[in-house]
Amino acid sequence: MKIEVFSDVACPWCFVGDRRLERAILERPEVQATRLWHPFQLQPGMPKGTRWATFSEQKFGGVAQRQAAFERVISAGSSEGIQFDFETMPYAPNTQDAHRLILWAQGQNLGTQMSERLLRGYFTEAQDVMDLETLTQLGVEVGLERESTLSFLKGEDLRLEVEQSQSRAAQLGVSGVPFYVFGGKYALSGAQPLEVFLKTLDLVIDEEKQNVV
């Protein structure tokens, strides 16, 4: 079963949603799931050096509103084993290079591992996911080769693909992430509850069985 995932490294709900999807897949061992990652930048024009505290306060309309939003995602993350740390994050990142790295890893069957590692690094370890050396090290941790990965990141390969993915998402009507497409047919928007992911997997499983018959 192909599961297409539109996601951004700077999206905490993507982290929550991906953990829930992973749990759903584990609860359906008969599913041979292949996840295909599509870049989606929530802030494609984000200038480097933008402080996280400043950006998040402006985004949510003030300190109190920001804290309320954080508390919601912290609570959701805790139930999925994620310890969000919004206080130590230095920058609001431009995630283009991080997305390039996910696509590079996906070409080596490591896309899911790379996305998970980047989300964990950014949201729980205050890693700078704009820094090429940091990105390289995170890539090495999931199985990528250091020198070739750093050389790739210093170049321009897959930059156009990231931009094209953004355009394709807009054509499909994707305006926010996470966004999932199951079996090329069933779409889910947002970090849905586990039960919703399970029901969607079951729909595709039933259809695949009928097609075999």
pLDDT digits (tens, 9 = 90+) for 154-170: 999 999 999 999 999 98
Among 130, 105, 123, 124, which residue's Cα sits nearest to residue 115? 105
- Mean pLDDT lowest for which of 16-20, 84-88, 176-180? 84-88
Confidence of residue 123 (pLDDT cuts 50, 70, 90): very high
Distances (CA, A) of 119 to 33, 124, 166, 199: 21, 8, 19, 26
Per the prediction, the chain carries an average pLDDT of 95
Confidence of residue 53 (pLDDT cuts 50, 70, 90): confident
pLDDT per position as a tens digit, 66-110: 999 999 999 999 999 999 999 898 889 999 999 999 999 999 999
| Single-letter residue type at 148 | S
**Which pLDDT does position 12 carry in this prediction?**
97
**Which pLDDT does position 28 carry in this prediction?**
96
- Segment 8-23 shows an average pLDDT of 98
**Which pLDDT does position 92 carry in this prediction?**
92
197 CB neighbour count, 10 Å cutoff: 24
- Segment 180-206 shows an average pLDDT of 96
**Which pLDDT does position 213 carry in this prediction?**
57
| Single-letter residue type at 33 | A
30 CB neighbour count, 10 Å cutoff: 9
**24: three-class secondary structure by DSSP:** helix
Angle at 78 between CA 77 and CA 79, to 5 degrees: 90
Task: Check residues 141 and 172 and name the one with the higher pLDDT.
Answer: 141
Q: Which CATH number is 2-212 given?
A: 3.40.30.10
- pLDDT of 180 > 80? The answer is yes
Break the chain into its structural domains and give their ranges: 2-212
**Which pLDDT does position 198 carry in this prediction?**
98
Give residue 66's region: left, alpha or beta (phi > 0; psi -120 to 50): alpha
First to last CA, the chain: 17
- Segment 172-187 shows an average pLDDT of 94
